């Protein structure tokens, strides 16, 4: 049984690896070699990667792909995508190509406010709290003047502070709800710094306020933190065309449009379908978010919460037919940035943003929304026509062949064979075994 380790964070990278391999990986003599194989030979670049997180022992690579031919608001772009799942980049590219000749994608930002809360307990007279807040609101705003000096110069900063009672949900629970504009920065560190300063000022003023001292019911801050739910930071994207322009090889445009709309209606009505439907949306969104150095966990959490905004989990996309025109759209909350964090540090993130022609935060919001819409279009198009597995498994074929250590000759033979045959794991194994026999 392994024993606890002390001072692990103070060990060198090599010492960390030695301890891990000796303690947990003694049965794998090549473990250390595998880890070192993924070190960057550029020591300066490797040091940069090592400093991103704690206890770094190696790098974990994901493919960096590109989906070309995205016409967005009249600009033709190639979208950088970082993802491990087969067929995602191909699906995005196919959707971009499909809509390229049908007017492309339109997108617009609806709002850009972000928010955070100071959560506190108060069990006294609510009217005393309301009066106290009205007296010190200006002081609370002034308390972050130094923190937001640079942000203010750029046109952003703290917008407002609101006292909200949440006692109907939890006894004695109140919050100071703060709204912010952070421009091209995602702004998490800025928002949290402001919140903590406001909380400190709030508590200090409360301690000396006569209403609380006389009743011994001083407000007590529990925590101060930004919210990753940003329904006031919205972007929408859309594609549309006459129904007859949807004619495809094996299906007429009107039939395709009806089946497509019905598929989206099912995802609106049935949460079990909606989860997989929205996962497909996030395939496109996350891939661009990762490529541009943004926080995909925050984006995921906020978007999935938004899918519940009407009281049940539902589709993030909408499809309809109006006056013989097919319209497919998405509206999502996105708190992302193009400055700060990894966007100015990671070389591949810099490259991704340059590839996108150095967008500002609003432009990147539009690009990300389009990526999600395109991915969902490609998935539903497959589902209501050929089925999802035909294209997915053909893209997955190379992964199976690599698992079997297939030679280049075997790979070429298999690719040709499965152009006309159904791909499955067992079918690929059987075919490769026949080649080898």
**How many Cβ atoms sit within 10 Å of the Cβ of residue 326?**
24
312 has catalytic annotation: no
Which residues partner with 431 through β-bridges? none
Q: Catalytic residue among 279, 304, 411, 425, which?
A: 279
> Which helix (H) or strand (E) covers residue 235, if one does?
strand 234-242
Residue 392 has phi, psi (to 5 degrees) of -65, -45
295 has catalytic annotation: yes
Q: Is 129 helix (H, G, I), strand (E, B) or coil?
A: helix
Q: Is 165 helix (H, G, I), strand (E, B) or coil?
A: strand
Comparing C-alpha atoms, which of 334, 327, 374, 330 is closest to residue 68? 374
User: CA torsion angle for 80, 386, 303, 185 (degrees, to 10)?
Assistant: 10
Q: Catalytic residue among 11, 75, 85, 270, which?
A: 85
Cα gap 417→80, rounded to integer Å:
31
Cα gap 27→419, rounded to integer Å:
41
Comparing C-alpha atoms, which of 297, 284, 290 is closest to residue 353? 290
Largest CA distance in the chain: 91
Give alpha helix (H) positions in 160-209.
Answer: 188-207
For residue 38, what is the DSSP state? T
Cα gap 109→363, rounded to integer Å:
8
Q: Catalytic residue among 295, 318, 362, 396, which?
A: 295
Measured in residues, the chain has a length of 437
13 has catalytic annotation: no
By the 10 Å C-beta count (0-12 exposed, 13-18 middle, 19+ buried), 379 is classed as buried
236 has catalytic annotation: no
Cα gap 193→431, rounded to integer Å:
60
Cα gap 257→264, rounded to integer Å:
11
Q: Which residues are CB-contacts of 177 (< 8 A; sequence separation ≥ 6)?
A: 115, 117, 161, 162, 163, 164
What is the set of active-site residues? Answer: 85, 279, 295, 392
């Amino acid at each position: 049984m392994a024993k606890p380790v002390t001072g692990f964070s103070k060990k060198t990278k090599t010492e960390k690896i030695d301890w891990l391999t000796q303690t947990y990986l003694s049965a794998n003599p090549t473990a250390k070699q595998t880890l070192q194989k993924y070190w960057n030979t550029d020591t300066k670049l490797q040091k940069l990667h090592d400093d991103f997180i704690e206890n770094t022992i190696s790098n974990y690579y994901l493919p960096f792909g590109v989906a070309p031919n995205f016409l967005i608001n009249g600009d033709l772009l190639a979208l950088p995508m970082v993802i491990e799942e087969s067929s995602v980049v191909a699906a995005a590219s196919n959707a971009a190509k499909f809509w390229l000749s049908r007017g492309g994608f339109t997108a617009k930002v609806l709002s850009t406010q972000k928010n955070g809360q100071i959560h506190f307990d108060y069990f006294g007279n609510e009217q005393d709290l309301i009066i106290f807040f009205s007296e010190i609101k200006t002081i609370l705003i002034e308390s972050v003047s130094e923190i937001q000096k640079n942000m203010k110069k750029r046109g952003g900063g703290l917008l407002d502070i609101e006292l909200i009672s949440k006692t109907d949900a939890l006894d004695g629970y109140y919050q100071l709800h703060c709204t912010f504009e952070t421009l091209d920065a995602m702004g998490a560190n800025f928002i949290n710094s402001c919140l903590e300063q406001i909380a400190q000022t709030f508590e200090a003023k409360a301690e000396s306020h006569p209403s609380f001292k006389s009743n011994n019911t001083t407000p007590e801050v529990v925590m101060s933190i930004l919210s990753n739910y940003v329904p006031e930071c919205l972007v929408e994207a859309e594609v549309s065309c006459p129904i007859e322009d949807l004619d495809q090889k094996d299906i007429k445009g009107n039939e395709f449009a009806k089946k497509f709309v019905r598929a989206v209606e099912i995802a609106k009505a049935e949460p079990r379908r909606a989860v997989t439907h929205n996962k497909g949306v996030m395939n496109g969104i996350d891939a661009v978010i990762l490529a541009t150095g943004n926080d995909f966990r925050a984006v995921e959490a906020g978007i999935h919460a938004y899918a519940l905004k009407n009281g049940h989990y539902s589709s993030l996309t909408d499809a309809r037919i109006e006056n013989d025109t097919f319209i497919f759209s998405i509206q999502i909350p996105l708190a992302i940035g193009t400055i700060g964090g990894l966007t100015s540090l990671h070389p591949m993130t810099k490259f991704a943003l340059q590839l996108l022609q150095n967008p500002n935060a609003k432009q990147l919001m539009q690009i990300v929304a389009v990526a999600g819409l395109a991915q969902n279009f490609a998935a539903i198009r497959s589902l209501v026509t050929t089925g999802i597995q035909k294209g997915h498994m053909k893209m997955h074929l190379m992964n199976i062949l690599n698992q079997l250590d297939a030679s280049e000759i075997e790979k070429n033979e298999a690719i040709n064979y499965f152009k006309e045959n159904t791909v499955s794991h067992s079918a690929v194994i059987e075919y490769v075994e026949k080649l080898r026999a």
